[in-house]
Amino acid sequence: MRSIRHSLCTMVLTLFATAAFAQTTTTAPKLDVPYVPTPQAVVDAMLKLANVSSDDVVYDLGCGDGRIVITAAKEHGATGTGFDINPERIKEANANAKEAGVTDKVKFVEQNLFKVDYRPASVVTLYLLPNVNMKLRPVLLEQLKPGTRIVSHAFDMGDWEPEETMVVDGSTIYLWTVPEDKKIGKSR
């Protein structure tokens, strides 16, 4: 009798857990890119490559835990905004900003990257997949002012040649500057 009761309790708990899991997976946002944090050494190199200063507004696309925007504020005096479609990452990024004492310089927004107004940015950082970079490229070229720096961890922008490339701890970093003639790199 005890064994039957134990089995029934186990079965009921399993059903509840399965239902809870199904509910969270069906309501979770569809992610185009898995969350993989950028190592801090790569974050530092990306910001250095982009020559980030206190005059900059840094936008981090797919910001995850917020480390790029937080480092830009804390180490370079920049202001910034991180964008991510995953509400859990936004909560984590806000908590990290609070812990770092930079909530007056940074914010994190739960938003689809294809609906962001990029015009205020002077530096854009990203660690996205090649197909997402390619879909974003025309949007960035259209909205960003000439002179805006774009830095990508690991993935390029197709036939738009980077100005600089560097390898840090096995990770490749690419830098582009939005040109006056925005037709460059628009094919493909």
Each residue's pLDDT tens digit, 15-39: 333 333 333 444 556 777 889 999 9
Alpha-carbon distance of 137 to 184, in angstroms, equals 11
For the chain, residues with pLDDT lower than 70 are: 1-29, 184-188
**pLDDT of res. 29:** 67
Maximum pairwise Cα distance, the chain? 79
**pLDDT of res. 31:** 75
**pLDDT of res. 32:** 78
Prediction pTM value: 0.82
**pLDDT of res. 184:** 64
Strands 164-168 and 171-177: antiparallel
Residue 34: burial class (beta carbons within 10 Å; 0-12, 13-18, 19+): exposed
- What would be the CATH architecture of the domain defined by 40-177? 3-Layer(aba) Sandwich (3.40)
Alpha-carbon distance of 173 to 112, in angstroms, equals 24
Cα separations (Å) of 163 from 50, 60, 181, 182, 184?
11, 20, 15, 15, 13
**pLDDT of res. 115:** 96
Alpha-carbon distance of 6 to 36, in angstroms, equals 40
Alpha-carbon distance of 113 to 139, in angstroms, equals 10
Cα separations (Å) of 89 from 29, 36, 115?
12, 11, 18
Q: Cβ(185)–Cβ(156) under 8 Å?
A: no
**pLDDT of res. 183:** 75
DSSP 163-181: SEEEEETTEEEEEEE--SS
Domains of the chain, residue spans: 40-177
Q: Cβ(73)–Cβ(79) under 8 Å?
A: yes
